[in-house]
Amino acid sequence: MALLLGLGIGAESVWAADPVAIVDALKTNAGNPKGARASFAKGQCVRGNYTPSTDAASVTKSASFTKPGMVLARFSVGGGNPKVLDTNKAVLRGFSMKLGEGKNSTDILFENAPVHFAKSTDQMLGFLKARAPGPDGKPDADKVKAFSAENPETLNQAHFVASKPMPGSFAGVTYWGVHAFPATNSKGQKRFIKFKVVPVDGDVNLTEEEAKTKPEDFLFQDIKARLAAGGIKLQVLALLDQPGDPTMDVTVRWPDEDNRPAVALGTVTITALSENQPCDDSIFVPGNLAAGIGEPPDEIFAARKAAYPVSLARRKSE
């Protein structure tokens, strides 16, 4: 805690890393835009359907993944600024979806990085506090550097995003669920899985020169064009655990994660734009998981589950 105190982050803040404090910090860093999500504020609601694979039941008995169903989803750009430029490579791209309806529905949140930027709520709040804007509207570079030096794993996400090309389409991005979900299959067997979503038609990337020619909302224009041309297909995969995999720390990947066995659970086909109201009037609830998929055991998942309703209530009251 000494380092955080040295950064001007008081003990009362560090140990008050509750959902309200985290949402407040996210909003502060984004400039407190009214009526906006605390994170992934810029987005577009879409609709479609899900078709399961014949192998889905070998991983989970969840009706969300083993039965055909309707899909409500949202493509988004990371951060709490609803006016963030689509050409900002440093921010995440997001994909949230609700599969199925009623008791058979499941909400999963994805982003174009396989790790989160903090492994605990205290670390998450410290990360955000270190990057809080000063009187000039910019974070204190020395505070950021000091916090990063003490918490190097908080840079894993940024380093991953920086190592990849600029995404050229929401439909051409690989997304990860980040958390390790306990899954129970049709035979009652249990294991941890990680969700991954891959574009059926392959990744779409831009060079730096190509990115410079794009308008500030080119990702959202691209969605409309692709849907008008026939739709967007994304394959949902389950990465299978192995003994010793870290299931509590979302800042690190599973060993050799990109080369281990994965099971195709099914295909999401996005067929139409939706008014944003269905996505904005509620939230994709991290804890909404149909039987057969359990809640991840890590601290960040619990924090998300608690913080999302706080963010919803705050933007509805603004």
Q: What is the DSSP string of 226-292?
A: HHHTT-EEEEEEEEEP-TT--SS-TTSPPTTGGGS-EEEEEEEEEEEE--SHHHHSS---TT---TT
pLDDT in 10s for each residue of the chain, 318 residues:
333 333 433 333 344 579 999 999 999 999 999 999 999 999 999 999 999 999 999 999 999 999 999 999 999 999 999 999 999 999 999 999 999 999 999 999 999 999 999 999 999 999 999 999 999 999 999 999 999 999 999 999 999 999 999 999 999 999 999 999 999 999 999 999 999 999 999 999 999 999 999 999 999 999 999 999 999 999 999 999 999 999 999 999 999 999 998 999 999 999 999 999 999 998 999 999 999 999 999 999 999 999 999 999 999 998
What pLDDT shows up at residue 16?
53
Question: How far is the C-alpha of 168 from the C-alpha of 209, rounded, in Å?
Answer: 12
Side chain identity at 157, as an amino acid letter? Q
Question: How far is the C-alpha of 31 from the C-alpha of 169, rounded, in Å?
Answer: 27
Name the residue ranges covered by the structural domains of the chain: 2-317
Asked if residue 175 belongs to a known ligand binding site, the reply is no
User: Two tokens at 178?
Assistant: 């980040």
User: Two tokens at 290?
Assistant: 């149909």
Topology (CATH level 3) of domain 2-317: Catalase HpII,  Chain A, domain 1 (2.40.180)
Side chain identity at 210, as an amino acid letter? E
